[in-house]
Structure 1
Amino acid sequence: MGIEKIVADRKAKAYCVLRNEANSKSAKKSRRKQRKMSMVQKLYETCKEVFANGGAGFIPPPSDIERIRSVLDSMTEADVGLRRNMSYFRKSSTDRVPKITYIQLYECATFSIAIFCLPASGIIPLHNHPGMTVFSKLLFGRMHIKSYDWAVDAPLNTTASANDLNIEPAEVRLAKVKVDSDFRAPCDTSILYPADGGNMHCFTALTPCAVLDVLGPPYSDPQGRHCTYYLDFPFSRFAVDGMTVPEEEREGYAWLQEREKPEDLVFAGALYGGPKIVVH
């Protein structure tokens, strides 16, 4: 019986050693996997968790907003396989208006990840993001961003008379300027919300630049999330009965008028060539 007990004890100890070694190897493997995860994979994983139950009008809680922002803030063009000397960032001599390259990394019903590549002087005209929370990370370059939110308590659509008699009355809506500034990478990620933060914005490339966008949820014509383009006019351009803004504040407001997609706006699709996103 004594010998049997000694043998049993030795087997138990050996089993514990093997189990601990296995756990240690598993932990090391897990740590290696985490270290090897690309930034774009980390972005996908974070968005997948944050927007798991998302939809039109969904705004992630502040802690989740910060999770996505933190990942984007640390990303550069190298993390998505871009180089500044790529043809996407050069204006062709045959292009009257610089062509903008659109690279889709991932899209599902609740979020999308994409890159816009703009040559110098490239413009993404003023447009909206209905029911969306949007993160925009300037990966490199210098860009002017102008954005608006609808003015609170202003009429939804108003036929305004023009202060210039040579201009026909137009259906316009009052908006408040949210951002009107130049940005140079590296800079903080911009975030806009369904009704705040500059839901309608315009990008103008001052130098060749690239913008990484996360939209939650993405545009969807069947679900009524259309991309609408706008013209913007100074507040002094039109007059609306009963609507006044103090003179010292007027530069902070503008009239927006819906328009068709500009005919000279060209988006050229390109395949994503950066680190692979493992979708699950």
Structure 2
Amino acid sequence: MRIEKNVGERRGREYSDSKKNRRRQRMVNPVQKLYDTCKEVFANCGPAVVPSAEKIERLKAVLDTMGEADVGLRPNMPYFKSSSYDRPPKITYLHLHECEKFSIGIFCLPPSAVIPLHDHPGMTVFSKLLFGDMHIKSYDWVDNVPAEPTPTANPLDYGLGDSTGLRLAKVKMNTEFRAPCKTSILYPADGGNMHCFTARTACAVLDVLGPPYCDPEGRHCQYYNDFPLANISVPDEQKGEYAWLKEREKPEDLTVVGALYKGPKMVK
């Protein structure tokens, strides 16, 4: 009987502990869950090291369920309004976390704001549109160029000077997104490592980068111009799927300002 009593007591404690764990899980806010998941997903990763497919899906599943309320945002906040003198509108970045393994942040874009075409060297990037309508265009590099890079227009028209330094890229995505929608993922060598965001309406994008940008380690943000191509051995109907890209300096009219994140906190 003593054994049975101990078993009953142990089962009672296990049941009580199980209830407490379930209650604790329910109390964890989505931002905390995102942070905890990122710690696990990127724990053994580094530059150009992609998490396993199972870990990718685990993080994507967390992000897929998140919306503006989970991070304390509302579409009527000042971040999402442009002043009459803003040409183009300034973008606000809310910093949540950064370490050597990953970073978490939110881009707040007023209508018509643009994050120009840029890359993510050695990174795996998750982008979740929290609210609003946005157009995303992304490219991957084409390694085997089947023809000489001859632009359809005079490169001077694009401020490029000449065709030196052009590199062929293939369109990976050219799509309109409307929240709620699934998370977009890009990888170090594919998935659209160079992308551009254009806000159709006020919108917010939650970004997770693993690892984050780091100039001393060679992971700096490079911007690009893209323009049509004329001479490449593909059928005419595929011409729009390619473009020549050339590195450029950070656009002078790009204004990104930092602001204090005031949403639900995370315990690190």
Specify the alignment match of 2:190 in structure 1. 196
| Aligned: 1:267 with 2:256 | yes
The structure-2 alpha-carbon separation of the partners of 1:28 and 1:57, relative to structure 1 and needing over 3 Å to count, comes to same
1:254 aligns with 2:243: yes
Report the aligned-residue RMSD: 2.1
Aligned twin of 1:232: 226
Alpha-carbon offset, residue 105 of structure 1:
0.8
Deviation at 1:159, TM superposition (A): 7.2
Q: Are the counterparts in 2 of residues 162 and 169 from structure 1 also a CA contact under 8 Å? A: no
Provide the rounded CA distance (Å) in 2 between the counterparts of 1:206 and 1:257: 26
Equivalent residue number for residue 3 of structure 1: none
Return 5+ residue gaps in structure 2 as ranges: none
Distance 1:245 1:137 in 2: 33
The 5 Å alignment of 1:1-280 reads 19-154=10-145, 164=154, 168-171=161-164, 172-236=166-230, 244-279=233-268
- Aligned partner letter, 1:74: T
Name the CA shift for 1:66/1:13 in 2 (closer, same or farther; >3 Å): closer
Distance in 1, Cα, partners of 2:156 & 2:169: 24
- Structure 2 SS opposite 1:248: helix
Displacement of 1:13 after TM fit? 7.2
Relative to structure 1, the CA distance from residue 252 to residue 22 in structure 2 (aligned partners, 3 Å threshold; closer, same or farther) is same
Shift of 1:29: 1.5
Residue pair 1:161, 1:169 contacting (<8 A) in 2 also: no
In structure 2, how many angstroms separate the alpha carbons of the residues matched to 1:272 and 1:95? 23
1:246 and 1:15 map into 2 onto residues whose CA distance is 77
Cα distance in structure 2, aligned partners of 1:142 and 1:44: 26
C-alpha displacement of 1:23: 3.4
* Separation (CA, whole Å) in 2 of partners of 1:268 and 1:46: 28
Alignment coverage as a number of residue pairs: 263
TM-score, normalised with respect to structure 1: 0.87
In the TM superposition, residue 165 of structure 1 has moved relative to its aligned partner by 8.6
**TM-aligned CA deviation for residue 220 of structure 1:** 0.4
- Matched with 1:4 is none
Check whether the contact 2:152–2:228 (CA below 8 A) recurs between aligned residues: no
TM-score, normalising length from structure 2? Answer: 0.91
Larger Cα-atom Rg: 1
Contact 1:232 1:255 in 2 (8 A): yes
Paired residue secondary structure (1:109) = coil
Tell me by how many angstroms 1:97 deviates.
1.6
1: distance between equivalents of 2:193 and 2:116?
Answer: 13
- 2:219 partner SS: coil
Instruction: Measure how far apart 1:248 and its partner are.
Output: 2.5
Q: Distance in 2 between matches of 1:111 and 1:85?
A: 30
The gaps in structure 1 that reach 5 residues or longer are: 1-8
More moved, 89-98 vs 16-25: 16-25
Q: Report the alpha carbon displacement of residue 274 of structure 1 after superposing the two structures with TM.
A: 1.1
Residue 18 (structure 1) shift: 5.1
Check conservation: 1:160, 1:169, Cα contact below 8 A.
no
Would the alpha carbon gap of residues 90 and 18 (structure 1) be closer, same or farther in structure 2, given more than 3 Å must change? same
